[in-house]
Amino acid sequence: MYDSHCADTKKCCSNGCGFSCMEPYDASKCLYNGTQYNVGDTIMKGPCETCTCFGHMGPYSDGFSCAHMDCPHFFQTFTCPPGTVLKDVPGVCCAQCLPPEFKNCPTKTTTVHVNEHNVVNLKVALQHIVATDHHGNVLSLTYSTMELRHCACSETFRNEHQIAVSTYPDDHGRISTCSMIVKVHDPHPPTFVTCPSKIQDFEDEVINWVKPTVTDNVKVYMNELRSAYRNNTRFPDGNHMVTYIASDHEGNIAVCSFRVEIWKRDSKDPAMPTTLQRQKSSGEHEHNIKDKLHIILPVLGGIVLIAMAVILYMCCRRSRSGMRNTNQYAARGHTNATYGGYEGPPPDYDNIANQKLPPYTSSEPPVYEEIQKSKLPDDAGMDNPTYADPEEVKVSVQKLSDVTKA
């Protein structure tokens, strides 16, 4: 093969195994993998091979002078520092002395799910993360936070946590750490504890029900009624579906639905439920009773009014009779009799206080004349003797005075 066999400006050159057409290059430069390097440039042809360009004028076929690096572990006296193990690393010339190593350490956000009690155990949720020592033995792990809970909120960032997982010290006291972002997720929807059953009634009745109760492992965010008609209102004739929708902060939903069947009270439809037919018959009977009561009640009211009037009259009559009897006996109650009428000034009396008493003797007391009592009835409460005649009073006093002087 000759240069004439090559196109354009290419020349016939030896490639080590034969000849090929290639672009001519400056003999003062080096060519490696299609790239020209100036004299003095250094390149790495391999992890342990360093080459320097001397140009094609030198003794090297490609213009590079290369040297190989000797790794320390090639010597028998080499040992790794405590807590590390010698391992080959891709792209690195010599094996590296590495500490305990993690397997499956997440490089992206890891999602974990809470249980029905709103708790997630990271040791269980991240059990795929494993760490080994320089002997390949699995090491126990510790977590910066062992348990997480959902924040019971709608802000996503509040459910993201920075978690660090570290190994227990190996035989040489070395540890390794794996850091990651963990996002807490709630997969459990709310649960309706109660939900009304089918309601059947007439259109003239107010329809009501007990609002359904709902629970959630984290927190109920919404429990909303989805219906054209509200509770404690009248529904028109026909079938209606009432629905409650509950959701939590994660967007999980639960549904409670029940049917409301409304009938006209005068409906003759044989499909009307038996309970409503009985209620209808009972209502007609009550209506008849009410019509009769419209007549009976006024009559009873009149009778009661007449009876009350008679009783009131008797009470008033008895009260008046009692007052008359009281007046008749009032004079016979407590009577303080008084002296009878007296015309002119009272008689003169001797001043007994200035007179001396007679000497004491052991004789019997003098006999006094009995004072004549009043001839008034003696059935009064207290009997005070009275004098019928003022002259008698004067005579009695005079006699008493004479006895005292004696």
| Model confidence pLDDT, tens digit, residues 19-69 | 778 766 667 788 888 788 888 888 888 878 889 888 776 667 778 888 887
CA angle 230, 234, 235 (to 5 degrees): 80
Q: Which helix (H) or strand (E) holds 273?
A: none
Residue 11 lies in a domain: yes
User: Tell me, what's the pLDDT at 84?
Assistant: 65
Specify whether 168 is located in the same domain as 95: yes
pTM of the model: 0.47
Residue 157 lies in a domain: yes
Report how far Cα 395 is from the mean position of its chain's Cα atoms. Answer: 107
User: Tell me, what's the pLDDT at 293?
Assistant: 67
152: CATH: 2.60.40.10
Q: Which of 135, 168, 185 is the last residue of a domain?
A: 185
Specify whether 152 is located in the same domain as 107: yes
Q: Which of 245, 267, 289 is the last residue of a domain?
A: 267
Specify whether 143 is located in the same domain as 158: yes
Residue 380 lies in a domain: yes
Residue 333 lies in a domain: no
User: Tell me, what's the pLDDT at 173?
Assistant: 77
As for how many domains the chain has, the answer is 5
- Pairing state between β 177-185 and 147-148: unpaired
Residue 32 lies in a domain: yes
Mean confidence (pLDDT) of the chain? 79
Which structural domain range is residue 279 located in? 272-300
Q: b vs e for 19-45, b when ≥16 Cβ sit within 10 Å of the residue's Cβ?
A: eebeeeeeeeebbeeeeebeeebebee
Burial class (CB in 10 A: 0-12, 13-18, 19+), 49: middle
Highest mean pLDDT among 6-10, 48-52, 68-72, 390-394: 48-52
Tell me the C-alpha distance between 4 and 165, whole Å: 69
Specify whether 162 is located in the same domain as 179: yes
What does the pLDDT look like over 139-191, one tens digit per residue? 899 999 999 999 999 888 999 999 999 998 877 777 889 999 999 999 999 99
Q: Which two tokens stand for residue 162?
A: 């920075």
pLDDT over 70 percentage in the chain? 67
What does the pLDDT look like over 327-383, one tens digit per residue? 555 445 555 555 555 555 666 655 555 666 666 666 666 666 665 555 555 554 455
Residue 122 lies in a domain: yes
Tell me which residue has tokens 């009149």.
302
Specify whether 208 is located in the same domain as 134: no
User: Tell me, what's the pLDDT at 335?
Assistant: 53
Is the Cβ–Cβ distance between 73 and 96 less than 8 Å?
no
Tell me which residue has tokens 């989805």.
226
